Amino acid sequence: MLFRVLPGSPVPLGEQIAACVRGAIASGTVTPGERLPPAREVAESLGVNVHTVLRGYQRLRDEGLMELRRGRGAAITANPGAANQARLTEAVHSLISQARELGLTDKEFLELVQGGLADAPVATPPAPGHRTLPASDHSRTGASSRPSGQPGEGP
């Protein structure tokens, strides 16, 4: 697997390393169970600190894409859902980089994304396991379901 980083990039080196692995998972270059090079080896080849590589590896572990075991190294654990998440995460990071190169602030970028979400038609139902909140279900929002003026209502 080829790791590449751009030292002058505003993206932290650890995130760049994680992005390389996410991209490899998304493209199918690496598969579940495949071992990655030891952090020390990657650090030496890139000329970065071993802790920088470990930060990238730990981020992937936190995302569920990699398993880290002391003395046993790092292995890809991605299942198809995690691979899809990796593809989407990689696309988001790419968009963020492009927005920053164009000089957009984070606030401007978020407003652009929110506007796009508001304008985009919902083409598919939510993925299995995701629940939409019906209009009458106020239990999660903290809103009262009692009509106003009912006993027990505060002043």
For the segment 15-68, what is each residue's pLDDT rounded down to a tens digit? 999 999 988 888 888 888 899 999 999 999 999 999 999 999 999 998 888 998
The pLDDT value recorded for residue 89 is 83
Q: Is 68 helix (H, G, I), strand (E, B) or coil?
A: strand
What's the pTM?
Answer: 0.57
**145-150: average pLDDT:** 42
136, pLDDT greater than 70: no
Determine contact, residues 83/89, Cβ cutoff 8 Å.
no
The pLDDT value recorded for residue 20 is 92
Please state, rounded to an integer, the average pLDDT across all residues of the chain: 79
The pLDDT value recorded for residue 55 is 95
| Nearest Cα to Cα of residue 43 among 16, 25, 68, 24 | 16
Centroid of chain to Cα 124: 21
The pLDDT value recorded for residue 127 is 56
Determine contact, residues 14/56, Cβ cutoff 8 Å.
yes
Alpha helices in 6-105 (DSSP H): 13-27, 39-46, 50-62, 80-101
Rounded distance, CA 10 to CA 146, Å?
51
pLDDT class of 134 with cuts at 50, 70, 90: very low
Determine contact, residues 22/15, Cβ cutoff 8 Å.
no
Q: Helices 50-62 & 13-27, crossing angle to 10 degrees?
A: 50
- The CATH code for residues 11-109 is 1.10.10.10
pLDDT over 90, % of the chain: 36
Q: How many CB atoms lie within 10 A of CB 64?
A: 14
69-112, pLDDT tens digit by residue? Answer: 887 789 998 666 766 777 788 888 889 989 999 999 999 999 99
